[in-house]
Amino acid sequence: MKKLIVTVALFVMVPVSLLAQDTDHQPPGLGYIFVGPATHQMGLTAGFGGEGYVYKGLGVGAELGTAGFLTSANGNPNWIGVGSANASYHFFTKKAQGKVAPFVTGGYTLFFGQDTFDYTGSIAHGFNVGGGVDYFASKHIGFRFDFRYYAHGDHILWASFPNDTQLNFAAFRIGLTFR
């Protein structure tokens, strides 16, 4: 699992850091890391991701993170993995000269790890929607503030929450972004 996380991190961050060396062109995407609290006893969320722009502000991206870090319910840890493949739209405004970029995002989410299997043994599939803003204090490094709502049709964390047929949660995240 550690090799997978390191491989994905290198896959996302190396191209973005190489693009940061080119000062003549706007980079075709960005990478980011995030941390923040979540609702419904899911505690801390953290992770990393990247997006590539395919047409103007329209982008596609992927993200790998964790939710429920350091929390438990009924004596069971709530820690799960969350992987997402998203589409996004960034509203680049000429007035802000590339410093501020509000965005909306949404897509497929895979919940994995402990207690994320439903009773038939399949992995929990779901979706996420959200939005936020990237604020670039310098040309290549900035801050990201965003909100995500995660939902699914399976019964995750059934050992911690045996009476919940569906545990959806929201995450409020802050992070660093690199372009």
pLDDT in tens, 104-152: 999 999 888 776 665 555 578 889 999 999 999 898 899 999 999 998 8
Q: Hey, what are 141's tokens? A: 């490094």
Identify the bridge partners of residue 127 per DSSP, sorted by sequence position. 108, 151
Out of 2.60.120.260, 3.30.70.260, 3.20.20.70, 2.40.160.20, select the CATH number for domain 2-178: 2.40.160.20
Banded pLDDT at 39 (limits 50, 70, 90)? confident
Give dist(CA 161, CA 168) in Å, integer.
12
Identify the bridge partners of residue 64 per DSSP, sorted by sequence position. 48, 83
Banded pLDDT at 4 (limits 50, 70, 90)? very low
- The SS3 assignment for 17 reads helix
